[in-house]
Every structure is written in structure tokens, then in C-alpha cells.
Copies of this chain bind each other. A is one copy, B any other.
Amino acid sequence: MSRATLRDVAAQAGVSHQTVSNVLNDHPSIRPATRERVMTAIRALDYHPNAAAKALRESRVTTLCCAFYGHAADDITDPYRNLVQSAFIAEANARGYAITTAMLGEEHPEGFEALRTAFRGRSFAGVVVASTTLPPERMRTLAAWGVPTVLFDRADPEGELPSVTADYVGGMAQLVTHHVARGRRDLALVVPGDDFGTSAVLRREGFLAAAHAHGVRARLEEGAWTAEAGELAFRRLWGGEDRPDAVLCGNDRMGAGALLAARTLGVSVPVEVAVSGFDDFEFARYTAPSLTTVHLPHGEMARLAVNRLLDHLEGRAPADESAEVRLPVTLVPRESA
């Protein structure tokens, strides 16, 4: 039932186990007849090579790790993960690699230790870390550990680790321009504050710069990346005397939360206030009103990240290996703004 080995195949085919190995690895100069005989035996015995033995002998790993970093509580339902992971898996599989997934966060530092152990123990060859908030110290640690890494959705401030990101600054600028073009003059952006996330910082900077360029008022309101945080932030903004006429949210989940708050408070969107998100996840179409947002090419980003990692691992890395690759984004106007 379970195990046929190379030698079993060899015996069955009447050759040495070596020859079987050669057939399997498409070695040149195997006689077609031999090859055929071996293949028949392989099929007859339903032989499948033992991955561990192969890995051990070749000291070569064909597994990649896909690590998500964040607060478990916040991110466990984050819809962008599906898309990202699906693309990782598809792309890695296409290049002959398997994917293991890890969940990382400062609340569970043992996760990092486990990652290190797994890497040193040759359980995976390299990692893509998907996160908007990975602390720079962690990047330094990964680099120091020598783990081949590609950052996803987050650049390395030191420029040491390669990364794949989107044009957050440009996206925010497009959004601000859109709001201003529709007559908004008092914009508020809800984003996490000091969360180590250049992603948040860039969204903030893009927002402030664009608002300034247009000569409109710009203010910031703090909120985590969750729907609930968007809800609370909107309530705070609306609770004051001095209400903005557009509430931009750092992502779509927050946008959905803000829309709920508006609805609960009886605030008409987009008449009284415009609301926008960022990311363009599936349900941005299904909020009421539907959510104006910026589309990030998450699938493409994920494919790119995997390919950069694999190019590095397979030694065909380009010159700009540690650079940040920043993909363009597109404004998606809907009903909310």
C-alpha cells in the first residue's frame, strides 16, 4: 500500500537503482528501451519519490513559507489574505514549490523562533512576509538570520530587504483629487498612527501632500485597520462641531465601518459627507452606498513577490535585487464619493 522505493522499481525493471534515478532525473544517455522499462515499473508499483530523502541528499528545499504578520485578532478575517495566498500558492506550485503558511505577531514571539528553527532546519527555503505593519527590527532580524525574504505590502526603510508594494502615495493623491473635484474642501483621513507601517505612513503622506497641493484642509484621525476602528473614527469625527465633508479611510474594511456609522447616525453619504476606502476588496461593491476606493493589484503583487523570491533562490536574481517594486493602482469611483 504505502512504499515502493527506488530499489523496488529497479528490481522490478531489472536494472540498478541508479538507473532508475537517472531516468527520473532525465539524465542524458539512457537508452529509450531501458527508460521505457523503468517507467513501466514505476507505474506498476505506483512509485513516488520520497521528498525527505531527496531533500536531504540534495540539501535543497522546495518549500516556501508564506508568513502573515499582524495582530491575530485584527487580521484573522482580513479578506485580502485569501487573494494573496491563493496567488502565492498558484505561482509557487507552478514553479514546483510547495507553500507552508505561518501566522506571526508580536503577541506570539515564539512564532518567530519557530520560523527560524524551521528555516535553519531546512523546512523552507525562503519567506514572503505579508504585512503592512512588520516592525523594522523584525526585518533586521530576518536579514541577520539570513532568511531569504521578500516583503509584501511593506517596504524596508533600510532598503535591505526586497519588497513588493503598491503606489500608496499616488493612490491617495488620486483619491484626494477625486474628492476635491467633487467639491470637498475639508478632508479627514483615518489611518493607524504610530504602527511602524510605512504603508500607513505613505497613505498619510500621500494624503497630506495632495490635500496641500489642492489647497484644501486635511486632518488625521487615528484608527486601526479594522471595520470597527473605521466605525469609531467616523463617530468621533461626527461628534465634534467641526465636521469634515469627506472621510477617507485607510482601507476598505475601515470604509465599511465608516459607512455603517454614517447610516446609524442618519448621515447621508455622499450628500452630507463623502466616504472612501482603499484596497478594493470584494465587498466594496456591496456596501450601501457602494464604496469608492483605490484598487490594489494584490494578485499581481503576490505573483511578483513569489517570483522575486524564487529568482533569488535559484540564482537568477536581477541587478536591482533588493529594490522595492511598486505597482500602480487605480481609482475606482463608486457611490460613496
A93 near B79: Cβ-Cβ < 8 Å: no
Known: A51-B123, A76-B86, A79-B82. A99 touches B98 (CB 8 A): no
Number of copies: 2
Residues of B within 8 A of A185 (CB): none
In the complex, whether A77 has a CB less than 8 A from a CB of chain B is yes
B100 near A63: Cβ-Cβ < 8 Å: yes
In the complex, whether A143 has a CB less than 8 A from a CB of chain B is no
Complex interface bits, A32-70 against B, C-beta within 8 A gives 1, otherwise 0: 000000000000001011111101100001010000000
A282 to B61, CA, bound (A): 37
A114 to B89, CA, bound (A): 13
Instruction: Scan residues 144-201 of chain A and give those whose CB is less than 8 A from a CB of chain B.
Output: 146
Instruction: Scan residues 119-136 of chain A and give those whose CB is less than 8 A from a CB of chain B.
Output: 120-123
Residues of B within 8 A of A99 (CB): 100-101
Contact of A50 among B90, B122, B290 (CB under 8 A): B122
Q: Which of A81, A281, A285, A286 has the most CB of B within 10 A?
A: A286
- Interface size on A, as a range, is 35 or more
A50 near B56: Cβ-Cβ < 8 Å: yes
Contact of A288 among B72, B102, B116, B263 (CB under 8 A): B263
A287 to B285, CA, bound (A): 10
Closest to A263 in B: B288
A79 to B259, CA, bound (A): 20
B85 near A77: Cβ-Cβ < 8 Å: no
A286 to B264, CA, bound (A): 11
A121 to B46, CA, bound (A): 11
A240 to B282, CA, bound (A): 29
A122 near B76: Cβ-Cβ < 8 Å: no
Residues of B within 8 A of A253 (CB): 282
Point out residues on A near B: beta carbons under 8 Å.
Answer: 1-2, 46, 48-53, 55-56, 61, 63, 72, 76-79, 81-83, 85-86, 89-90, 93, 98-103, 114, 116-118, 120-123, 146, 227, 253, 256-257, 259-260, 263, 281-283, 285-288, 290
A-B contact pairs, 25 of them (CB 8 A): A1-B146, A2-B146, A50-B56, A51-B118, A51-B123, A63-B100, A72-B86, A76-B82, A76-B83, A76-B86, A77-B83, A79-B79, A85-B85, A86-B103, A89-B101, A89-B102, A227-B283, A227-B285, A227-B286, A253-B282, A259-B288, A260-B286, A283-B286, A287-B287, A288-B288
**Extra contacts besides A52-B52, A100-B100, A260-B285 (4): CB < 8 Å:** A2-B120, A53-B56, A256-B283, A286-B287
